[in-house]
Structure 1
């Protein structure tokens, strides 16, 4: 009796192994395509039309020039899609994806899987290459994206993973970034931008950033050759920046021209440290600002080669140095200012010439 049971067990095991071998064998023949299409249709409700489907041992399936139709979602057409299935499967999780690669596609928000769908497939890594993406008034051209070590939460904000992004152009409501590069870590309130760079308004911008008090703090930010009229220009990207960035850890502005209301600064270079953007200069804590420029024009006054170094801390603004040429003369000043007190350690006014007649200043 025991021998019969053992023989039956061996026979069943052999039949199972033979079935697996046959399936693997068929995946290397012309039957791979109908087998994969049937499995996706019946198992996941995904309808597939593909020019060719190739199986690569042990766990990769590649679709060429394919169209995918997912439940409750717009169809997706891709030049190439490769799936690497996880080798650690279970009855609770019959399909898990180790890596998903999409190369060559035009996608919209209505064509991308939801976080819930991605969680069902237990995707560990996602790679996008040569993708054009649109979502409302946002358009991204030639997107390359890698998400690794993904731990999906209930939303993108609560998910974790490493992010590398590259795009030739990023458009939003008519404003654009070019040559965008981002390397970061997605981890809720511990998210970080390890490095980012792009071109905006012909200026080169690079930065690092981290979450601080629920908003981004800019770290080691450099802005080079920016030409910006903050009064006339209602840039939507600036609105996003104001909404999501609340603090400047360190920012350098180089070789730039800035305008605001009745002030224009030419060829300015400035450094800002520890600035809370939600507070006035009077309410800062250990903030630092230094500025030098070729020229500053303010309400008719022309300041030539002005330099300024300021420390702000708890309703005290210390002017460590102010030096500028004004109308054939020179002004030098240092001291501090409080809400109800001014103390000047140094004030030198030499050779400044102007004449005031009525409401007019004649120089």
Structure 2
């Protein structure tokens, strides 16, 4: 009987061979399917060995869990392949997602280091978590009841915010196994964000606080809810919301005074708001803040210039009557927050409003 070490070395060579077959197949999907099917059979045989985890560790360092069945391993291969438009893709990494080794390549100009950074980012990990969750595309009997498979990921660009990954644009090749059709799979990955509906009551009138800033993607000035992106994968949505309020309006609030409006949604929704699911992974948690202030606070807030100038935030604060808020902004966060707030009021789901905010900085 062969020792475990000898068996592992032989299996390693066989495993790499099957990966190469999958990654370098051209034309019809049939050769890829046969190779991947054989690979699953081999993995099934090896699955009985007690040191299967050690084998995977020998191929690459593991990342944290990203949802059930979604531990990520960097599996280095030495293959290249051509994209649909004939360009030669670069990179030699694969990722184990939900039990399948998925090749991750890069467009010309994207280095293997950038590919690795993209895979390690909280943006990519969150996307994997969604893909493999209970209602995820890769889960059997998911929301659509069908079965899809992820064949390949192509990193198209990586934008850094200092030392961390800010945006990742990539293409996921996802195939409906019943029809063989490919799903639209271009993703602008930017991760989670928060938005805050700030309502200040003054002399019986309710006001909403908006921030106006230049938005290059839409080429115009836009009035929006105070909002911001998560800086890391620690999931501190409440802390991020409180920090954004202070940075964009100058008002300090207690995190305990923030109400998570999206938490009122049904669990099947993920309790997030997805503003552009056809092209971006962005999920937004919407909070409500309410405070009682006097007239001079409303007057001092309106027109105030705030924001982090070194981060490119050139913000002007606006205070508008809540009754006209729905007509004063084209911001999807604001419009969604209005709907959640009004429905929560109607259903009696909101706790009592807290006292006024800390305004010493104004």
Q: Same fold, TM exceeding 0.5? A: no
More contact order relative to length (CA 8 Å, sep ≥ 6) = 2
Q: Which has the higher helix share?
A: 2
Between structure 1 and structure 2, the one with the greater Rg is 1
